[in-house]
Amino acid sequence: MTLLLAFDDEAALAAKLGAALGVAPRLVARHRFPDGETRLTLPPVLPERVVLLRGLQQPNDKLTELLLAAAGARELGARHLTLVAPYLAYMRQDMAFHPGEVVSQRHLGALLASAFDAVVTVDPHLHRVATMDEVVPGRRGVALSAAPLLGAWVASRRERPVLIGPDEEAAQWVQAAARAHGFDAGVGRKHRRGDRDVVLELPPLDIAGRDVVLLDDVASTGHTLAVAARQVLARGAAAVDVAVTHALFVGDAVAALHAAGVRDVWSTDTVPHATNVVSVAPLIAQALRATTDDG
């Protein structure tokens, strides 16, 4: 028997994942003390196999609680502990670009490997590292992709759209979504000069009079997507939409996209947001069943 355990602020996705798995999720209760520390309460007796659901957006607030919950679950009976982190933070820093920089992907991966037997995530920001097994050394790492799901959503809403990734790093997701539905697709090049200062070179596709969908794995400030939206509209696109896996969207990011001419913004529920239209629960459930079957 496998128990699905989730933090209380993950209840919506936990309910969908539980329904897909045919189990009733249990919640980790939290009490925050005035000094900022947190008391966690788990079910007092746990089965040998436990799946812990915890997205790691706003990771600095969540990692301590996650590691404490994992240790507590071991004390309460869990022998095989799987982390499902629909969004996995600190993946983009996979090498030291300047002397002294801490390679966060390597060290977070080591921390998770010390606490969990397996880690399942969706569209992690992996580029110079090929697999999640490398991120969590000695443990099982599973990287799922929501790109085909987003492609199916786009296909149900737009006829003959052109998919464009704003930069080279989006290529894997654009290709996966386009391949499944026969979309025309291309990927641009990005030159970043700062967090909100980017120069884009979009692919030489004929987009005049066409619906364009900008597809990416994650959007935070939305600035790159806004720049891309203005460019495709200036090149004669009939309309432009945005589809992303992880809707981090800090501050007024969505308003900025609409101000740039974006019609609709779509995302998966890896990160809870008003733009969520596609659930990754069935995708994760399928992976968990395969992980259980493989032992």
- Mind telling me the catalytic residues? 190
Burial of 88 by CB count in 10 Å (0-12 exposed, 13-18 middle, 19+ buried)?
buried
Rg (CA), the chain: 20
* Amino acid letter, 209: G
Q: Bridge-partner residues for 50, per DSSP?
A: 3, 81
Phi, psi of 83 (to 5 degrees): -95, 125
Residue keyed to tokens 């969004």: 87
State how far the Cα of 119 lies from the Cα of 142, in Å rounded to an integer: 6
Phi, psi of 176 (to 5 degrees): -65, -45
Collapse the DSSP code of 274 into the 3-class scheme (helix H, G, I; strand E, B; otherwise coil) and give the result: coil
State how far the Cα of 278 lies from the Cα of 282, in Å rounded to an integer: 10
Collapse the DSSP code of 206 into the 3-class scheme (helix H, G, I; strand E, B; otherwise coil) and give the result: coil
Q: How many CB atoms lie within 10 A of CB 110?
A: 14
Which tokens is 65 given?
């609680």
Contact 79, 48 (CB under 8 A): yes
DSSP of 140-169: EEEEE--HHHHHHHHHHH-SS-EEEESSGG
